[in-house]
Amino acid sequence: MNESSLRDELKDSPLSTQSLYEFSNSERFDENRKFRTPKFFRFPWLSVLASVALLGYFVCLANPELISPYYLMIEFKDKWFQILISIVWMAIIIRDVLSFRKSRQRFLEYIELKEQEISALWESRKKVQQKAHVYSSHADKLKFFISDKLLEYIEYDEKFLHFKSIAAEVRHNGVIAFDKVRTTLSATKAQLIEELAMRVEDSNDGLSDATSDNDFSEAASDNVGDVSVDESAPTLQSTQLKQIEQALSSMRYLWDLLDLSTADNLALHIANHLITCEEQYCQQQMQKNHSSATIFQPTFKPRTAIINYLTDFLADKYDSESTTLAQVFQKQLESEVSSFEQFRIDLGETHEVLGNSNHLILILENLLKNALYFHDQRKPKLNSDKIAVQLSQQPGVVTLAVYNRGPLVSASDQEQIFQLGFSTRKASEHHGKGLGLFFIQEIVKGYEGRVRCDNIENAAQTLTLRWETDNDVVITKIIKIVSEQGGLFVEEVSESRASHRSTEKLEWDHAVSIVKLEVSSSLAEGTLIFGELDQSKETVILDQFQPLMPAWQIKVTNKGKRHSVTFLPLDRRGVCFTVMLPDVIARVDDENPLLEHDFDRQVELLAEQFKDFE
């Protein structure tokens, strides 16, 4: 087999690849190699001819009569001439032997190279066969998978069509039932308003009849508006009127929930509703100077909606039969930061949001249910372990955050926590299908917002405590909060020496009372000053730098002969769900800061889906 035939066989082999052919060529024509590819062994013609000539010379010397007629020179028979001819013959023989050995060595190297190429070729054939088997098995699995999915999709399509018909029937019957209930409640409400108006007229003869009639006729004509009830009206009818208003509000919430539940695409349904709201809002802004009454409200105030919901929620949770408790809760919620038995709430002022307020209430309701579940499971030991609800305004974004002290969510669970049917709870502990967080994500998608789940960890920080006693002595302590091996500790750093002590809490006793306390933190600017401390009981001070998720607690005791300052670090590990919705200004001006992040993320998700096909 010569070189050209071997090359053609390698190139035309059905199991070889172009890369192997190039590999063989590159190996053969490598410039770094010290040999050239031999073609054939050359026959030693020169040695044979020299041997024949030498043999003829000695034959002639042995038979002088053969050369006597040719008159050869006398030197032809000389001994030194014979030696010279022998040396030349030996040199030719040695030269051919060396050439043969060199050619043989090159040929052996050539054979070794070809053996390596053949081995590589066989290895590549094995790899190709293995890949063929793997791809064949994958193809079979893919066929079974596609067939199973097709069957599932066919079954799903049948179920979807069946569900769609049921949803249409439920929506149709729901509209009829909703109209009947709303009409009945509105008529009852108007009747109660008229009765209250008559009683007010009887009890307030000094008031103008025209003014009274005008006010209460307008109130009676408004079936869904707010009603101002005079304090002299009967308590029973006032209570019934409030109950009817709550029933109407609950019916509207029920209708919105039914509307979302029976929609084919929840996010698309909400997006279409927001388009209608945006059109109505723009028309109202253009006709702002014209007096035009409209029932449809394209925007809502998140703070007002949440306060109304939490007022009823807290009243039902703690004392459902109290009539004044709701008013107390509402006043507390309207303050800067309100604290309840299980909740810590901070509702800041925000811009209006396009859409339906019940959508935001549905988000908050599901987040609170999730938070209450983990709050009850953990059974907090300290009063500071509470569920935190915060409403705040960011540039172009209204943010709602709900924090609970539940277990941390792993990174893998965070990626699928908003998927339908997924839940971090054990199957034996609940019977849900993961609808709550799925509903939240779909609603947020419709609003072109974002929702995320973040783990809250304990942050290391350095605090400086400075307090003044009754005898004008000022004590300064520098302490550090550290987290080690899942535990939370506090260290007191001495100002005079490098030693410090680490413990779960620090306590300093004094012989006289403490009258003033100052706190500063390395994580926040400014200094908290607590003056005129109570001199007869304990004063508990929570972290005011982070009022919703406090990291420490200070207890100042001035009781009897005991005067002390106790510092306790608080474990704040938990989970915080944050919902961000664009406000009406950002949406109308087409400057939603949340769209860019979502767009890039969607592109990445689409790219990841096609990585397997590259």
**Lowest mean pLDDT, pick from 159-163, 544-548, 582-586:** 159-163
* One-character DSSP codes across 420-483: TT--SS-TTT----SHHHHHHHHHHHHTT-EEEEEEE-PPPEEEEEEEEETTS-EEEEEEEEEE
Distinct helix (H) and strand (E) counts, the chain: 14, 18
For residue 233, pLDDT beyond 50:
no
Measure the CA–CA gap between 201 and 519, rounded to whole angstroms.
59
Instruction: Please report, for residues 378, 442, 595, 602, the alpha-carbon distance to residue 607 in angstroms, rounded to integers and kept in the order given.
Output: 41, 22, 18, 9
* One-character DSSP codes across 105-153: HHHHHHHHHHHHHHHHHHHHHHHHHHHHHHHHHHHHHHHHHHHHHHHHH
Chain CA centroid to CA 275, Å: 28
Calculate mean pLDDT across residues 117-136: 87
Greater confidence, 335 or 218?
A: 335
What percentage of the chain carries pLDDT values higher than 90? Answer: 15
Calculate mean pLDDT across residues 96-119: 87
Global pTM exceeds 0.85: no
Query: Across all residues in the chain, what is the average pLDDT?
Result: 76
**pLDDT at position 606:** 63
Place of tokens 């019940």: 358
Return the structure tokens found at 16: 């070889």
* One-character DSSP codes across 569-597: E----EEEEEEEEE-HHHHHTT--TTHHH
Measure the CA–CA gap between 580 and 454, rounded to whole angstroms.
13
What is the tens place of the pLDDT at every residue in 67-100?
Answer: 666 655 555 667 777 788 888 888 888 888 888 8
For residue 187, pLDDT beyond 50:
yes
What is the tens place of the pLDDT at every residue in 11-54?
Answer: 444 444 444 444 444 444 444 444 455 555 677 888 888 888 88
Measure the CA–CA gap between 330 and 311, rounded to whole angstroms.
6
* One-character DSSP codes across 203-250: H-TTS-HHHHHHHHHHHHH-SSS-----TTS-HHHHHHHHHHHHHHHH
**pLDDT at position 364:** 94
Chain CA centroid to CA 540, Å: 37
**pLDDT at position 34:** 45
What is the tens place of the pLDDT at every residue in 324-364?
Answer: 556 677 777 777 778 888 888 888 899 999 999 999 999 99
Return the structure tokens found at 388: 């935190």
Pairing of strands 387-394, 343-347: parallel
